[in-house]
Amino acid sequence: MSQQAETEDIKKKILSTGIRVGTQVKTKFMKPFITKASPEGLYMIDLDISLERIKTAAKFINRIGVDKVIVCSGREYANMPIEKFCELTGASAKLGRFMPGTLTNPSLPYYIEPKLLLISDPQVDDQAITEATNAGIPVIGVANTDNITSKVDLVIPANNRGRKALATVYWLLAREILIEKGDLKEDESMKYEIDDFETKISDEALD
């Protein structure tokens, strides 16, 4: 299968996941990534740019070394996608509340020195971004149409609120990293599908 056909194939697979559905707000930072507004008034993200940025992020991550990457998120829906992503790639996860001083205070027991930070939402993960900026650590961030991304070095434009959408972003990124490293062929299936990356809502949560 040609790379063009492969890309079209992937696009078909992910169109229904909501990955390109933004919010009713757009910031000046996210304007270049938006194609149009839906009839419901939601801004739509350009999927081609998202896929292109995921490829760029994968190259960047592999150049730095995925074992030196910390993936953090304070958003619950990102937990399962990040866990699966780390399992497949060898990155490390930092989930839940980001403790102040994690990247900037060497005297703390939980201090870490990653070479790259990957975050799921610039708004939720602002503490992590601020510390990474102060410590000179580059940040790759998944950002929605309403996010402010002034401190994010590489923006991956995508819906970062939906469970399915978040699963899709991390699935695509893991796949691209493995392909880039030569551990997976373009037309080969990964160990997990997008559904496996998705945070499941328990029955208790629905009550």
- State pLDDT tens for residues 33-61: 999 999 999 999 999 999 999 999 999 99
* Token pair belonging to 173: 């990124």
How confident is the model over 136-155, as a mean pLDDT?
Answer: 98
User: Closest Cα partner for 120 from 154, 75, 150?
Assistant: 75
Work out the burial of residue 26: count CB atoms within 10 Å of its CB; fewer than 13 is exposed, 13-18 middle, 19 or more buried: middle
Alpha-carbon distance 57 to 107, whole Å?
31
How confident is the model over 102-125, as a mean pLDDT?
Answer: 97
Percent of the chain with pLDDT over 90: 87
Architecture of domain 15-200: 3-Layer(aba) Sandwich (3.40)
Specify the pTM: 0.94
pLDDT for 206 equals 45
β-sheet bridge partners, residue 118: 71, 140
Alpha-carbon distance 185 to 74, whole Å?
33
Q: Is the pLDDT of residue 78 over 90?
A: yes
pLDDT for 1 equals 60
Place of tokens 């930070």: 117
pLDDT for 3 equals 73
pLDDT for 202 equals 67
Domain positions in the chain: 15-200
